[in-house]
Amino acid sequence: MGKKALALILILTILFAFGCTRKEDKGRNSNENMDNGSVIEENGVIEDEEEVDEIQEIIDNMTLEEKIGQLFIFGIDGIEIDEQIIELIQKYKVGGFIFFGDNIDTIEQAIKLLNDIKKENGNNPLPLFLAIDEEGGQVTRLADIFPSLPDAGRIGNINEKEISYEFGKLIGQRLKTIGFNMDFAPVLDINSNPNNPVIGNRAFGSNKEVVIDNGIEVMKGINSENIISIVKHFPGHGDTTVDSHIDLPIIAKSLEELKGLELAPFERAIEEEVDGIMIAHILFHELDNKYPATLSQNIITHLLREDLAYDGVVISDDMTMGAIMENYTVEEAALRFFQAGGDIALICHGYENMTSAFNRVKEEVYGGNLQIEEINQKVYRIISLKRKYNLADVLVEEYNIEEVNEKIESFLNKIK
């Protein structure tokens, strides 16, 4: 073998050895980066292998009391902050409050009340839901502050999507001006029973398509002002002859019948990514012959969650209504609601009702009858909703009620 051949073999051997070393080093660097959760791409950019789940991190750092508190929206008494409100915030870590006409006097008073509550919640890890029933018509809590808006029946009679959207937007502007962030509206019930004592003109009409077309636009209008819209009353309150504020209504319709009418607006709302659905205190005998919808796993979990594929926030109607209190204790009902798949129990009246429900849930978690994993799933949905709307306990410092009122008057003139 000549000298040139030997030299060539030597060069090739060196190059091969150097290449193997670089491959080993590259492999070792890749493994090291995999250990810390990153990978090096071919362009040299370092990317995270897994995204951090910020909501889960929040939940992991919450106490049990903070988690349970998020499962409730409570009512208050009076027109100013008091010791009970402070205790509900500080001790019970409540997730939100609902306000009624008795809590609203003047624009200045209402803003101060909400601001004081927000200040008190400042040290808690999550902002509050500040909710109200503002539907228009007779169901309004702000009649002494803003001009009256028509009821949903009037909007349904007009039956123009642009009008319905503007109607919802004006509702949202009224609430945003004061500092609210959640509205238990619109009603998606179909007023199919002329003897119904509680729905009537609160519904957009007796026609399924009219309710769908106008109800969804009102929902979108409310949302456009960064106000959370909670539609109600699933699976449908339109065909009752009993007011659930007084006693328990019973509906004997089959699932097929409900799908043909009552469920249709809620199905469309789910398709439109509705933020929250309120459950009615009604016994649907063919779906669950023991429990009303609010307490029924068949209705909340199997029908709403599984069959209709809804994974948003589920809120109960007020647990202090006659349909519940004539048949259950509030704490029993709240527990059953959570076990059935609900997320937020609404308890509007009675400080003892609120604290006993909170304590009962806590006892059942410790007793193993309510799993912490279930609590975490509920809290995850709740935090997701609060983050979707970028909720924060920001104080209202400036407001222009005249501008809102001018828009309302212009709208009212338009629909005369």
Radius of gyration of the chain (CA): 28
Parallel, antiparallel or unpaired: strands 96-99 and 228-234: unpaired
Parallel, antiparallel or unpaired: strands 276-279 and 228-234: parallel
Contact 84, 60 (CB under 8 A): no
- Kindly provide the b/e burial profile for residues 396-407, where b requires at least 16 CB atoms within 10 angstroms of the residue's own CB: beeeeeeebeeb
Contact 205, 211 (CB under 8 A): yes
Q: Which of the residues 245, 247, 302, 349 is marked catalytic?
A: 245
How far, in Å, CA of 169 to CA of 46, rounded?
A: 45
Residue 275 annotated among the catalytic residues of the structure: no
Contact 244, 280 (CB under 8 A): yes
C-alpha distance from residue 108 to each of 160, 202, 361 (Å): 35, 29, 37
Residue 317 annotated among the catalytic residues of the structure: yes
CB atoms near residue 302 (< 10 Å): 16
Contact 321, 289 (CB under 8 A): no
> Where are the strands (E) in 253-316, listed by range?
276-279, 283-284, 313-316
Contact 326, 248 (CB under 8 A): yes
Q: Which of the residues 183, 317, 343, 393 is marked catalytic?
A: 317
How far, in Å, CA of 152 to CA of 397, rounded?
A: 32
For 149, counting Cβ atoms within 10 Å of its Cβ (0-12 exposed, 13-18 middle, 19+ buried), the class is buried
Which residues are annotated as catalytic?
A: 245, 317
